[in-house]
Amino acid sequence: MLSTVEGFKSVVLDQLAEGVIVADADGRIISVNRAAEELHGRVRLDVLPDGYSESYALLTMDDLPYPPDDLPLARAVLKGESVVDVPWKIRRPDGSVIIAVGTARPVRNAAGDQIGSVLTMRDDTLRVRAEQELLEAVRIKDALLFEVNHRVRNSLQIVSSILALPLKRVQDDLARETLALTQQRIEVISTIHRSLYELGKHDEVDCIALLPELCKDVIETCSVHGAVGFICETRGELVLPVSKATSVCLAVTELITNACKHAYQGRTRGGVRLLLDGATDQVLIRVEDDGVGMRTVSGKSEHRGIGMILVDSLAKSLAADISIDSGPSGTCFTIAFTKPGPVPDLSHALVTNRHNKDV
């Protein structure tokens, strides 16, 4: 009768799609079902824990011989641990290597005594290889995007240099100013692309890290002998997609430039204050000066130069509200917009989706 029951259990185990290996209380392997035999390409019974790794040609994910005491089944046998979803490699007799994922648990009787252990496993080779191929594709894509940003920055630098050539020869003041401001705007975009490959990113810009330095450069260029001071206050984080960050950086540097050019007419000194507030979902950017003020009509500048037209256009691209508060003690521009959601990690999503399908 006992042999009939054991034979029935063996038949049932052989019908399972997962590999199953059973060990007795001493850790000696007493049963290997058909799926486990196919995974390993061999069957070895009466093997104790210190022989699991060698007998079944088990390897770590780094292709090293798997330390016998660290194997999931050995841990269940020797330490009574439950080890869930641990990967390892199996080298079959034909030389092929597959990746297995397994779970080992101790088996206890009604009194709580450990009477054996069981290991279940499945072939995870296709999923892991697909994941590795996807990650490699993402790595190559990132490398190409970094190279593109590097080349874009170099190209912009060339354009900036071309614009700089006629500056010394142009006699008309308005033309010279226009060329200089165009060159400055190109430099801003160039700096953004430089930050992408220097910081190891290709789709997001940390405006709080980048903008203060940009503004300092603008003020040093526009003000004479450090006549305009600069203070920047930051709150929270302001990491934006490249297109949004470009609009923000151009708008802010344009406002800083306007302050340096127009706010201190008839004065020798002044100061500009920048607030970058990304602490909430509502981004708040404020550019203030303590200059002579400006005339406004319905909350907008009465003077509609190219700079303000550009700022309004950039604000529209951000879906931002822009307001002006100006008086004899200075001018304050406020830009407010809803912070965009994070850029989705498509590679992680694809890997997760593959894993869920396999499970």
Q: SS3 for 150-182, per residue?
A: HHHHHHHHHHHHHHHHHHHCCCCHHHHHHHHHH
Q: Summarize pLDDT for 164-180 with one digit per residue, the tens.
A: 888 777 888 888 788 88
Which is nearest to 274 in space by CA: 317, 323, 214?
Answer: 214
Q: Are strands 300-301 and 296-297 parallel, antiparallel or unpaired?
A: antiparallel
Task: Assess whether pLDDT exceeds 70 at residue 130.
Answer: yes
Inter-CA distances, 68 with 65, 124, 141, Å = 9, 21, 40
Which is nearest to 254 in space by CA: 152, 333, 162?
Answer: 333
141 beta partners: none
Task: Assess whether pLDDT exceeds 90 at residue 265.
Answer: no
Inter-CA distances, 204 with 128, 233, 246, 279, 344, Å = 29, 21, 10, 17, 11
108 φ, ψ (degrees, to nearest 5): -120, 150
Q: What pLDDT sits at residue 345?
A: 52
Buried b / exposed e across 320-341, counting CB within 10 Å, b at 16+?
Answer: bebebebeeebbbbbbbbebee
CA dihedral defined by 120, 125, 130, 131, rounded to 10 degrees?
50
Q: Give me the chain's average pLDDT, please.
A: 84
Question: Is this prediction's pTM over 0.75?
Answer: no
d(Cα 16, Cα 279) in Å, to the nearest integer?
54
Q: What pLDDT sits at residue 225?
A: 59
- The amino acid occupying position 345 is D
- Of residues 77 and 150, the one with the higher pLDDT is 77
